[in-house]
Amino acid sequence: MRSVKLTKAKIKDEPTIVAFLCNWCSYAGADLAGVSRLQYPANVRVIRVPCSGRVDPLYIIKALQEGADGVLVSGCHPGDCHYISGNLVAKRKFAMLKSFLKYVGIEPERVQFSWVSASEGGRFAALIEKVVGDIKKLKTPRKLVKEGK
């Protein structure tokens, strides 16, 4: 999460997005997008996780607290999870997290969830474009951000 703070100073007027990507599908899709030389915004910081179901909602809140403008969690398509149902567990966690964010007055659109397979490099690039565009439409976050940031 410390890299989020450093990145904010480097890229002015651009939102910083933290992306938690499943190792087996979404990270491989991101890799395919890179190998295919597909263009997508560079203000996304990728964190590779074994499974989207292992992303604790507190990690997402911490990313927002440390200065990220938005968070993306991406995993395998339903039925394709290497850990059988981890992606479905993640979907339930993030539905509850979005309700919590709305309750405390934070735009739920700051946290997005998607499915990307290893063969969908183009879809990954388009998804990043969409997430960055959605976050740009929102105001600069004021809640959860530590004082002095």
CA distance 25 to 75: 6
Task: Provide the percentage of residues in the chain whose pLDDT is more than 70.
Answer: 88
CA distance 76 to 144: 29
Q: How many CB atoms lie within 10 A of CB 134?
A: 17
pLDDT for position 146: 65
For the chain, what is the mean pLDDT?
Answer: 90
Q: What is the pLDDT of residues 90-149, one digit of tens each?
A: 999 999 999 999 999 899 999 999 999 999 999 999 999 999 999 999 978 767 766 655
Q: What is the pTM of this model?
A: 0.89
